[in-house]
Amino acid sequence: MLTEFWKKHENLYYALTNKKVIFGLTIVIFVFLLAVFGPMLTPYEYGDYAGEGYMPPSSQHFFGTTIDGKDVFTRTVYGLRSTLLVGVIAGTIATLVGCAVGFLAGYYGGTLFDELLMMMTNIFVVIPQLALLIVIAAFLEVRGVVVMAVIVSITAWPWTARAVRSQTLSLKNQEYVSLSKISSLNVGRILREDIASNMFSYVFMVFIQQFNGTMLATVQLEFLGLGPTKGISLGLVMQNAVNWNGIQLGMWWWAIIPGLILAVLITALYFINTGLDAAFNPRLREM
């Protein structure tokens, strides 16, 4: 029965047996677990005074303490939570909007509708991301996690829209779509089997990339002091460390550890992306 299942979900089988995917997925799961269960491992809140300041990592303070005695581990895992949340929300918004616009424009390729959609997309493409984000962020006095996500996704979707549009355009003119048409397949099946399934892997990878990109963009904003006005996030932890000259004062754990976690997470996501590429594309499979 198990073999029957794998036969039906061949792509999943190839994805989960790909070494790069296994490697990346292990790290990503570990980081997610850290974000979910990490706060339970610490007796403090992220704003609490946890003990003596300036303490290097030890069994009591896994990631050491800040200059004013806050526990870096606590701040990191809470920060990781909200950073991941921003990434998921912003990544989802950017992917959904980008795919919707791109698919519609591609499907109605060459029409006035397509031209209008693309004109709008191109306007968003040429807006300098950082400048817009600074303006919006400065404009909103109170910024929470969700607001951050929305701000970041505004500038993230256009590239996806353009890529998805051209993908749709080329897919719908493939000769195998014509063959399905003259084989009298109904439109639903053509969209599903010939267009969507050839795009699914692509969209999935777009999501991972958007998740990645939006997370990084958020951390950048936070690092510049344009982050959420309440709560904590990885970017804020690092900004704090830099503001207090943490590294110059020898407290490398304060800024390096959260940064390292973020870097490892993003690398792992890239590994998943390249691995999935091979898994979804039969031509790249090792047989």
- Binding residues vs another protein (CB under 8 A): 110-112, 115, 174-176, 178-186, 193-194, 197-198, 281-283
Query: CB-wise, 119 or 142, nearer to another protein?
Result: 119
Q: How far is the CB of 116 from another protein (least distance, A)?
A: 9
Q: How far is the CB of 273 from another protein (least distance, A)?
A: 19
Question: For residues 140 and 229, is the Cβ–Cβ distance under 8 A?
Answer: no
Question: For residues 214 and 86, is the Cβ–Cβ distance under 8 A?
Answer: yes
Query: CB-wise, 183 or 243, nearer to another protein?
Result: 183
Query: CB-wise, 7 or 230, nearer to another protein?
Result: 7
If one counts every other C-beta atom within 10 angstroms of the C-beta of residue 142, the result is 8
Tell me, what DSSP letter sits at residue 185?
A: -
Query: CB-wise, 19 or 181, nearer to another protein?
Result: 181
Q: How far is the CB of 199 from another protein (least distance, A)?
A: 11
Query: CB-wise, 51 or 282, nearer to another protein?
Result: 282
Q: How far is the CB of 115 from another protein (least distance, A)?
A: 5
Query: CB-wise, 43 or 188, nearer to another protein?
Result: 188
Query: CB-wise, 61 or 165, nearer to another protein?
Result: 165
CA 26 to chain CA mean position, Å: 17
Single-letter code of the amino acid located at 36: V
Give the whole-angstrom CA distance, residue 218 versus residue 233.
9
Q: How far is the CB of 281 from another protein (least distance, A)?
A: 8
Q: How far is the CB of 17 from another protein (least distance, A)?
A: 17
Question: For residues 117 and 104, is the Cβ–Cβ distance under 8 A?
Answer: yes
Give the whole-angstrom CA distance, residue 122 versus residue 124.
5
- Two tokens, residue 250: 């020898």
Q: How far is the CB of 119 from another protein (least distance, A)?
A: 10
Which of 46, 63, 64 lies closest to 55, judged by CA?
A: 64
- Two tokens, residue 38: 């990490």
The CA–CA distances, whole Å, from 43 to 52, 70, 74 equal: 15, 12, 9
- Two tokens, residue 242: 């830099």
Q: What is the largest CA-CA distance in the chain?
A: 76
If one counts every other C-beta atom within 10 angstroms of the C-beta of residue 177, the result is 17
